[in-house]
Structure 1
Amino acid sequence: MAIDAVLAEEAGQNPLLPASYDIIWSLVCFIAIAFLFWKFVMPRFSALLDERAEKIEGGIAKAEAAQAEAAQMLEQYKAQLADARSEAARIRDDARAEGEQIVEDMRQRAQEESARILAQGQVQLDAQRAQIVTELRGDLGRIAVDLAGRVVGESLEDEARQRGTVDRFLDELDSVSAPAKS
């Protein structure tokens, strides 16, 4: 009969619903597990999540700081590059100006050297001209004395007479050639 009583009792209940004592003990176990989970597991889980969130936020902050530093370094690099370019342009301009100055100095020196060489040549030319004129005067004087001696018929061998005659002749030649040069 005991089996019949259990079967009759079970026949009045819904087979899908458990017995009420099972529901009560399951609820007590669930509350105990939920309390332990809430008391011990959730704080550790929360701490772990908070720690991880802090690490992530710290990583993000570090990344932002690194990105800001990189942007600053890029700006410094660009500024240094611009300074280097302007310095290179200035050096190039200075070198160009210095080159032009060197060329101008060399041109000036060449002109001075050319003027000096021309002056020296002119001095040498004047000296040679004076020497040639002196030699020609002497030769011309001897020829003139010989011709004059032949024309006059007397000997102009006397040195003093010869010089006087030659000097008179050359003075007359200078006076005649002076107006012709003008």
Structure 2
Amino acid sequence: MDLLIPEPAPALVGVVSFAVFFVCMAKVLLPRINKVLGERKDAIEGRTERAEQLAAEAGEVQAEYRAALAEARHEAARLRQAALEEGTQLVADIRAAGLREREAMMLEDRARLAADRVLAETELRGDIVSLATELAGRVVGEAPESVANSEIVDRFFADFDARSVAGLQ
């Protein structure tokens, strides 16, 4: 008995069965398998294309975002610079206004001091004349009314003014 050579009837049944099975597979199952594999391939390729499109769109959006961010930074720097310049100008204006106000106050105070000085000098001259007249009256023993309005008092104050002006220089 030859083990490797099969009997013709079982071999024929095996070949026919294989052919029927192969035809069924080729006609029914293989197209379905190919269809499913094609759909999977299309889905994978579609997803890959969509992913590439999304990546490209994301790159564009990112580029736009970076450009907008750079523009915003530039605008912020410009605004900071403008605010700094405006602040510096405001400080200079306020300082100038303060100096003008100080000068005006100083002029007003000097005028007030000069007026107060003249007023005080006038009052003191009147008091000096009355005190000098009273003292002279005590020394002489009678009240010299004519001395109060005389040229002596005017000459005394003129001499006094001349000495005080010469002493200031």
TM-score range for the pair, normalised by the shorter chain length: 0.7 to 0.9
Q: After TM superposition, give the deviation of residue 173 of structure 1 in Å.
A: 4.8
Counterpart in the other structure of 1:48: 36
Q: Work out whether 1:166 is the aligned partner of 2:153.
A: yes
Which of 126, 129, 136 is 2:114 aligned to? 126
Counterpart in the other structure of 1:34: 22
Q: Work out whether 1:73 is the aligned partner of 2:61.
A: yes
Checking the alignment, whether the CA contact within 8 Å between 1:141 and 1:166 is kept in structure 2 is: yes
Secondary structure at the counterpart of residue 149 of structure 2: helix
Q: Once the two structures are aligned, what percentage of the paired residues are identical?
A: 35
C-alpha distance 147-171 of structure 1, shift in aligned 2 (>3 A): farther
Secondary structure at the counterpart of residue 4 of structure 2: coil
Checking the alignment, whether the CA contact within 8 Å between 1:145 and 1:156 is kept in structure 2 is: yes
Counterpart in the other structure of 1:7: none
**Aligned partner letter, 2:6:** P
Structure 2: unaligned runs, 5 residues or longer: none
Counterpart in the other structure of 2:5: 17
Mapped to 2, the partners of 1:129 and 1:20 lie a distance apart of 153
Which structure would you say has the larger RCO, counting Cα contacts within 8 Å and 6 or more residues apart?
1
Mapped to 2, the partners of 1:140 and 1:98 lie a distance apart of 61
Q: After TM superposition, give the deviation of residue 148 of structure 1 in Å.
A: 8.8
Mapped to 1, the partners of 2:162 and 2:16 lie a distance apart of 158
Q: Work out whether 1:92 is the aligned partner of 2:92.
A: no
Q: Work out whether 1:62 is the aligned partner of 2:58.
A: no
Matched pairs, number? 169
Q: After TM superposition, give the deviation of residue 169 of structure 1 in Å.
A: 4.3
Mapped to 2, the partners of 1:163 and 1:83 lie a distance apart of 91
Q: After TM superposition, give the deviation of residue 71 of structure 1 in Å.
A: 1.9
**TM-score w.r.t. structure 2 length?**
0.75
Q: Work out whether 1:112 is the aligned partner of 2:100.
A: yes
